[in-house]
Structure formats: C-alpha cells, structure tokens
Amino acid sequence: MITWIGNKLTEIFGTTLAPYVGYVLIGFAIITLVVLMAVISIYLERKIAAFMQMRLGPMRVGKWGTLQAFADVFKLMLKESLTPAQADKQLFNIAPYLVLTVSFLAFAPIAFSPSLQLWDLNIGVLYVTSVSSVGVIGILMAGWASNNKYSLLGAMRSGAQIVSYELSAGIAILTIVMMSGSLSVSGIIQSQADGWWIFKGHIPAIIAFVIFAIASTAELNRAPFDLAEAEQELTAGFHTEYSGMQFAMFFLAEYTNMFIVSMLGTTLFLGGWMPLHIAGWESFNHLMDKIPPFLWFFGKVFISLFMIIWFRWTFPRLRIDQLLKLEWKYLLPIGMVNLVFGAIITWLGWIL
Amino acid sequence: MNAVKRYFSSIFNAIVALLKGMRLTGSYLLHPSKILTQQYPENRETLYIPERFKGRVYMPHDENNEHNCTACTLCQLACPNGSIQIISKNIELPDGTKKKVLDRWVYNLGSCTLCQLCVDACPSDAIVMDNAFEFSVYNKSKLIFDLNRPGSKLKEKKTEPQV
Amino acid sequence: MEQTINNRILQSSDDEFIINVGPQHPSTHGVLHLQLRLDGEEIADLKPFLGYIHRGIEKMCESLTYKQFIYLTSRMDYLSAHINNQACCLAIEKSLQVEVPERAKVIRTLMAELTRLASHQLWWGSTGLDMGAVSPFFYAFREREMILEIFEETCGSRLTMNYCVPGGVMNDIHPDFVSKVKKLIQQFKANIHEYDELLTGNPIFQSRTRGVGYLPKEDAISLACSGPVARASGISCDVRKKEPYDAYDRVEFEEIIASEGDCFARYRVRMKEMLESMKIIEQLIDNIPAGDYRAKIKGIIKPPAGEYFQRVETARGELGVFIVSDGSNKPYRVKFRTPNFSNLAALKPMSLGAKIGDLVAIMASLDLIIPDIDR
C-alpha cells in the first residue's frame, strides 16, 4: 500500500516534488495520530480519575461521554485567544507553538512497530532526550511573556524542576544504553529480543526503571510534581493567562509529552514492540508472537500512561524544596551508584 | 552506619506508604459498583426526597378550592426578609356583617431563605413547606407568585348540626 | 491621602516582589485577600485584607426580632450552621430563663456533633485538595453526604437548616434518625482507615505539614486562637468541657490536645476530634429521652433589659454570642465573637519565612471560613 501511494505521488507531482509531499503527508498522519491519541488519553484520564473517586465522569456527550474530549477541543477552538495588554505579545504567542512543536519533534525516532519508524537515527534516544528538554524554554517563555507574577513563579519552578530531573532521567536511560550498547531506538529494541531489560537487567535495571518513572513524571509537570501549574498555589502557573486554542496547545503538549515519556520508557525497559517471551515456554511464546507488534507497543504505552495517571490522582503535591531534595539527595546519588553497578554487571557479562 | 540505615529505611517506608495509597485508589477503580454519583435529570422518578425537605412555601387547597388562611398576617410578621405579603379584602357576608378575608398571598421565592419561620408561626396550619425544588427561571419576577388559587376561599368551620 | 494608602499596602525592595493571593484564588476558600511580599519563594511579609463578604449581620440582627435573627447566624460559619443557631438560642433562653426539655437538649447536641463531623470531613477533603491530592475530597464527601441526608430528613435542609428555635428544636426527629445515625457510625468506622492510608500516612503529606506553620503556645494565647488551632498548640480551651451547655455535661469525651503546634498537629487534633464526636454520638443516640421537643414560649420574645452572653464550641473554635436587650422585641445590640477572625490573626506569625506551598498548607490547617471572618 505504501508503495502504491508512493507511485501515485510520483505520478502526480513528478520525481523531484514527490518525496517532499510524502514527508508532509507522513508528518500530517503522525500529527493526526498523536492528537487522536492525546484526545483518547484525556478521556481515559477523566474516566480513570472519576472511577478512582467514586464518580461517573463525563457522561453526556456521546455514549458514556466518549465524545466529551472532542467537544472540549471544539469549544477551545471557538474560544478567543486573549493576549494580555501588558504581555510581550510575540513571545506570548510563540510559546505554545514552541512547546507543541518540540513535543511533536520527539516522535520522529520512536519505533511503533518493526516496519513503522519515521527516522531510524543512530542516536535516537539521545535525540529524544535532548529535543524534549527544549520544551522548558517554551514554558519559561510563556511564564515570562505573560507579565504575571504567578506565571513567572510557575515558569521558574518549572525550569528548576526540569533541569534537575533531566539529570536522573538521563542517568536512568544511560544504564540501559550501556547494557544494550546502542543509542539507536531500533538497536535497543533488538537487544531485547531475548527478554526485556526490566527482566534481564537484574536489580540495576529495575532501580533505573523506578528512577526513570519518577523523573519523567517530574519532567512532565504532572502531579505529584505539578509545581509549575500548582493550582492551589499559583492558580494555573505558567499558562494562567492563556485561553482558547493557545491554552489547548499547552494541554495537548502535556498529553503528547506523556505519550513520549511512556513510549521512551516502553522502548528502553519494556522491550518496545517485542512480545513477551518466557524462556522454555515455546507454545506460549508462539502465541505471543501472533499478537501484532504495534498492539504490543501501544498496550505497553497505555499501561505506562495509566501508571502516570494513577500517580496523579493519588498523591499530594511536593513543595519546591522537597522536590529538589528528592532529586539531588535521593534520585541522583542512587542513580549514579546504580549506573556503576550496571556497568559492573555489563562488564562481567551477567546479563541473561 | 546508622545514618545510612535511616536513609534507606526512610526510602523503603515512604514507598510502602505511597503504595498503600495507590492500592486504595486502584481498588476503587476496580470496583465501579461503589460509584456514588447519580445522573440527575434521568433519575427524577427514582429520586428520594425526604418528606420534610424544604423546597418552597405552599398553601394546600382541598377539593372545594378552599384553604385555611385567615389572613392574620402572622406569617408576614414572622418572615425575616419580607418575602411574604398578605393582601386582604373586606367582603360582606349574607347576614350583612363585614369580614376580612384573604385576597392574595404574595410569595417571593427569590428572597425566601426557607427558614420555616412562617410555617412555624401560622396558627391555622394554612401553609406548609413543599418538596418541589426545580424553580430556575430566566427572570426573577417570575419567582413571585400568589399561593392562593384564584377563586379560592376560606374553609368553612364545621358547624354543629342543630338539634 | 497618599500616605494612608502607602501604609495600607506592603512595600517591596528591588529583589522582592508583592503578590496578591485572592480575593479570587483557589486556596483561600472564599474571598480572602492576602498580600504577600515574596523573596523568591519565601514569604517575607503578609497582610490579610478583609471585608469582601461583609454583610453586616450584626447590624441586621438589630432590625430583626429575636426569633428571626437566628437564621442569619447560619450564614456566618456555614459549615457549623447548627452550632451557631444553637449559641443564639442558648443566649435567648438564658435571658428568658426558659428550661429546655431534656429531649431537645439531646437532639441539639446530637445535631451539633453531626455538624462538627460533617465540617471536619469537608476540612479533611479540602486539606487534601489544597495539597494537590484531589481524591480525598470525594472520599470525605461520601460520609459527609450521609450526614447531610440525615439533616435533610429531620430538619428539611442540608446546610443552613435553622433547626434550633428558642425553647427547643423546630421538629421532632425523623423516625429513621436513630437507625441512620447508627449506620453512619458503622460506615465511618469502616472507612476511617482509608483516611489514614490516603493522607495521614502519606510521606509527601507528612513532609508538607510536619514542622510547618509552628504556632507557639504563648502566641496562640495572645492572638486569642481557639478550637483545634489552639488545642494543637497545647492550650486546653474546649468550651464543651469548660462550660458544658445542652447535653455535654452528661457525655464522656476527651479533649484532644497536642503540643507540637505545627500543621500536622492541627491535622491530628481534628482527626481525633472526629472520633471523639463519634463517641459522643454513640453515647447519646441510644438514650434520647422521651418527652417534649420544644418548650412553650411566647410568640413575641421580649427578654428583660440586660446583657446576655453565651459561648459554644463550633467546629473551628469558640463562638461567643453577646446580646444587649433593652426590653423590646428586637435586640439593642448583637455581637458575635467568631473563631475564624482570631484564628486568621495567627496566619502571619506562622507563615513568615515559609514557602508559598507552606502558606497553602497553613491555611488548610487553620480551616478558615471567610464569611465567618467578615460576618
């Protein structure tokens, strides 16, 4: 089918233009997919939160409220995007686009299934981590340009938080990179053909997974680390002054970032699109192979997503100094020691 | 050494306590039968409203379109926020004597706080608190209404049959 | 003129800035306006501004008769509406020297404790909410809803029920009252462990509240704090114990006192107070005396000229009702000593040097009701 589309494009646009049109189409498809998934996860989050709190959640739009998220998006599209009179208008208007663009960029090297990968970069993991940290500039921009003290405080908190938690997230990723000996996303997934890293990486991989889970939740600015938008303290933090579609972009970026983090975690620790294999259980392994790889991938992604949602609706929020204490006194030292242990294990070749 | 032990035991205890909280919310997620909220306009038929629920002041009329109000204005005096206005008129009875009777019992639901003091003050049980509660209107002048029905009159006291 | 304005608002230096929390802010629970001078995240100075919800209840009381003004007090501390009404009724009864029937006394006490329970449950939920945990709010509302249903059945309303009248209570209790209260106690006891699992034992919550917002005993006394705020600083000030009113002299309960004086101590005091309220309800629910629920008093109340004072323990502290009568059917002057007003005074000494996040925790632990401050 892909070749058929390719031939059709060459027919219409000629050989020089066709690849570019193809890129645009692929980009469009990915963006549509991501937006659709974000909308689904918004609905999921609302329903999960409601059930955890003995509520029914959205029930009115569509059967069981399934169309609620679409209705919300439609409402936000129709709303006016206000710009405060005293705001730095250019920065104020650029910031949401920057945040959203950055989170879309990080999708490029993700392998959804063996055949579906946009850009098999040999430093894919490095690319994702570096690109996703550009998003903090958008947040700082939004907070500064709003000319609102709450926004500024939120942006500053967010800056401090993301810069510090990136360290331990990076170290947790490094543990796996070291074990698998590859920085490319497909290479890491291939290295897990005989078992996922969380199973065959011994204790260092499990500790790295826990650190990655905590640090990436913190990088997402979600509860219990949602200090940047701490509703009870800073009303809405860095996006206090945003409304309409500009607000929706921050919202969308939050959910796309959730997907990226889940996808990265799935790729690194849970074997990407690799099916679950248990050594010795041949018939079981055969059965698992029957399930298509993209279902494996999205199943794992949604499980990690569910964990992030579960954290949010259970825990109270940390204070800014406690947040930094958790990073610098607990996660970073443990992560570093863990990295050394991981190195020793890799060096001795104890990996299953 | 002790400090190291404390460091790790604090981490362990924190994780255990956090997992307890997650177990609680997770168990509610898996038990949708414990959901408490209701779908309001759909469940109007099955909605349980206690009989004492104070929704508005109401004047019961019997089948002959008669009520108990003697227009004594005690309820008007008892009302703390002037939501009640009794307008009475004088009518001439067949035997020639004049009598003060109720013309309009004007009730302003918009300013009523449902404190039940008027019902409490009424000596002849002419007014009660009703259970009705869906009163939203677009214009607050629609919240002022007469409680006595048009053409209604005071219930006649049962006279002893003459022997 | 400019001088007076400058005195009213805080001044900041170059490396500090002024931020206005409220009057519209998610964590002030109403229209409280706080002006903060911040040094980064730390609070260098704090100033509360009042009056956004001043309705002049004390003045309104002077133009209403004794029976009428009672309902207004429900609108002060709306979460302990019944206890406010009870205080006014007790003051009026004191002036008239009416003996309230035993049954009415017990019913009033039961209702007051249920009100306290409902109020503390809302506080527990909103504390979680202020700390960023949303789920506790709904778990707290589950039991609170049962209490409100009990109120609805007996009194006709859920929040501002105006159930107390001078001389007793408005209606007799509903036939289902006793069984429903027993069910509530059963369910509350079955669910109390969830409260501990979700918040009390949570290390994040503990680190947010332990050692935060310390209020020394001396400060608590000099700022006239009362209720759980003062008791958490080690002051014994429960009016139910000190000057028992209604049926409190015949029940056994413990006055919860903690000595730490921080947010966590205030949290623990309130949690234990819920259990004590349970104990009081359990003692009274099985022996509600038979008899009249309302003493016969005249339609128009005219207390003899003089001054009358009654204090009660609301869910937030000590409420004093002071009535001056000139012998007419309307009070000459009514003064309410509300607990939240003096508890608010403790906010500044507690939060100086704390972070913004701490301020939210401190306000949650004070359990402020803004209409009660402004009246």
Lowest mean pLDDT, pick from B46-55, B71-80, B93-102, C114-123: B93-102
Whether B11 contacts chain A with CB within 8 A? yes
* CA pair distance C49, A269, nearest whole angstrom: 53
Domain residue extents for chain B = 2-33, 56-154
d(CA B48, CA C275): 29
Three-state SS letters, chain C: CHHHHHHHCCCCCCCCEEEEECCCECCCCECCEEEEEEECCEEEEEEEECCCCCCCHHHHHHCCCHHHHHHHHCCCCHHHHHHHHHHHHHHHHHHHCCCCCHHHHHHHHHHHHHHHHHHHHHHHHHHHHHHCCCHHHHHHHHHHHHHHHHHHHHHCCCCCCCCEECCEECCCCCCCHHHHHHHHHHHHHHHHHHHHHHHHCCHHHHHHHCCCCCCCHHHHHHCCCCCHHHHCCCCCCCHHHHCCCCCHHHCCCCCCCCCCCCHHHHHHHHHHHHHHHHHHHHHHHCCCCCCCCECCCCCCCCCCCEEEEEEEECCCCEEEEEEEECCCCCCCEEEEECHHHHHHHCHHHHHCCCEHHHHHHHHHHHCCCHHHHHC
> Is residue A93 very low, low, confident or very high in pLDDT (cuts 50, 70, 90)?
confident
Burial A234-272 (b: 16+ CB within 10 A, else e): bbbbbbbbbeebbbbbbbbbbbbbbbbbbbbbbbbbbbb
Residue A88 contacts residue A147 (beta carbons within 8 Å): yes
Chain B hits for A322, CB-CB cut-off 8 Å, are none
Residue C64 in contact with partner chain B when CB distance is under 8 A: yes
pLDDT at B161: 55
Residue C1 — pLDDT band, cuts 50, 70, 90? very low
Q: How high is the mean pLDDT of chain B?
A: 82
Give the integer Cα–Cα distance in Å for C263 and C269.
10
- Is A214 in CB contact (< 8 Å) with chain C? no
**Whether residue A290 has pLDDT greater than 80:** no
Query: Measured between CB atoms, does B72 come within 8 Å of chain C?
Result: no
Per-residue pLDDT of C264-290, as tens digits, reads 899 989 988 888 888 888 888 888 888
Distance (Å) from the alpha carbon of A195 to chain B's nearest alpha carbon: 27
Give the model confidence (pLDDT) of A263-282 as tens digits: 888 888 887 777 777 767 77
Check: CB of residue A208 under 8 Å from CB of residue A145: no
pTM of the model: 0.86
Q: Which of C141, C153, C177, C330 to mutate to test the interface with B (most CBs of B within 10 A)?
A: C153
To 10 degrees, the CA torsion angle through C269, C270, C272, C276?
Answer: 120
**What's CA C262's distance to the chain center, in Å?**
19
* pLDDT at residue B163 in the model: 53
Q: pLDDT at position A201, please?
A: 67
Tokens of A37: 């998934």
Q: Which residues of B touch A310 (CB under 8 A)?
A: 22, 25-26
The token duo for C294 is: 């309302």
CA–CA separation, A55 and C142 (whole Å): 11
Q: Which amino acid is at C100?
A: V
How far apart, in Å, are the Cα atoms of C180 and each of A54, A284, C145? 21, 54, 12
Most B CBs within 10 Å, among A54, A225, A327, to test the B interface = A54
- 3-class DSSP state of B103: strand
From chain B, pick out residues whose CB is under 8 angstroms from the CB of C135: 25
Q: Could you tell me which of C54, C35, C62, C116 has the C-alpha nearest to residue C372?
A: C54
With bands split at pLDDT 50, 70 and 90, how would you rate the model's confidence at C8? low
The tens digit of pLDDT for each residue in C315-369 reads 888 888 999 988 888 889 888 888 888 888 888 888 888 888 888 888 888 888 8
Does domain B56-154 match CATH 3.30.70.3270?
yes
Answer whether A330 sits within 8 Å of B11, measured CB to CB: yes
Give how far the C-alpha of residue A150 lies from the chain's centroid of Cα atoms, to the nearest Å: 26
Cβ separation B18–C157 shorter than 8 A? no
pLDDT, one tens digit per residue, over C198-225 is: 888 888 888 888 888 888 888 888 988 8
Q: How far is CA B130 from the centre of its chain?
A: 6
- Tell me what the mean pLDDT of segment A27-31 comes to: 80
Quickly tell me which residue has 């003996």 as its tokens: C99
For A54-87, give the DSSP string: T-----SSSGGGTTHHHHHHHHHHHS-----TTS
For residue B81, name the pLDDT band (cuts at 50, 70, 90): confident
C71, C74, C76, C82: CA torsion to nearest 10 = 130
For A106, which DSSP code? T
Band (pLDDT 50/70/90 cuts) for residue C256 is: confident
Q: Is residue A15 scored above 80 in pLDDT?
A: no
Identity of the amino acid at C173: I
Among B113, B117, B102, B140, residue whose Cα is nearest residue B56: B113
Tokens of C31: 């229209």
**What are the structure tokens assigned to C292, written together?**
């009249």
Radius of gyration of chain A (CA): 21
| C-alpha–C-alpha distance, residues C65 and B77, integer Å | 10
- Of A242, A272, A270, the C-alpha closest to A254 is A242
pLDDT band for position B37 (50/70/90)? Answer: confident
So where are chain C's domains? 2-49, 57-374
Widest pairwise Cα distance in chain B: 108
- How far apart CA A242 and CA A236 sit, in angstroms, is 10
The distance of B158 to chain A (nearest Cα, Å) reads 56
Which chains contact B through at least 3 pairs of Cβ atoms less than 8 Å apart? A, C
- Residue type at position A124: G
Average pLDDT, chain A: 82
Helix (H) or strand (E) holding A165: helix A149-180
Considering only CA atoms, which of C206, C208, C157 is closest in space to residue C362? C208
Q: Give Rg (Cα) of chain C.
A: 21
Instruction: Sort out which chain C residues have CB atoms less than 8 A from B50's CB and list them.
Output: 149, 152-153, 156, 174
Question: Position of tokens 């778990």?
Answer: C139
Q: What distances in angstroms separate CA C187 from CA A72, A267, C193, C275, one per listed residue?
A: 38, 46, 11, 13
Which residues in chain A have their CB less than 8 angstroms from residue B11's CB? 330
Q: Which pairing describes strands C164-165 and C168-169: parallel, antiparallel, or unpaired?
A: antiparallel
The residues near A187 (Cβ < 8 Å, ≥ 6 apart) are A122, A180, A181
pLDDT at residue C3, rounded to an integer: 52
Q: In angstroms, what CA-CA distances link C177 with C247, C264, C293?
A: 18, 35, 15
C neighbours by CB contacts (3+ pairs under 8 Å):
A, B
Tens of pLDDT along C97-145?
A: 888 888 888 888 888 999 999 999 899 988 888 888 888 888 888 888 8
A89 near C CB under 8 A: no
Distance (Å, whole) CA B131 – CA A117: 64
Helix (H, G, I), strand (E, B) or coil at B153: strand
CA count, 13 A, side-chain hemisphere, C351:
29
**What is chain C's mean pLDDT, rounded?**
85
Q: Which of B20, B50, B116 sits opposite C197 (nearest CB)?
A: B20
Total number of residues shown for chain C = 375
Percentage of the residues of chain A whose pLDDT score is greater than 90? 0
Nearest to C317 by CA among C340, C336, C335: C340
pLDDT digits (tens, 9 = 90+) for A215-227: 888 888 877 888 7
Set of chain A residues whose Cβ sits within 8 Å of the Cβ of C360: 232-233
User: Which superfamily does CATH assign the domain made up of C57-374 to?
Assistant: Cytochrome-c3 Hydrogenase, chain B (1.10.645.10)
Query: What is chain A's length?
Result: 352
Mean pLDDT lowest among A315-319, B154-158, C2-6, C186-190: C2-6
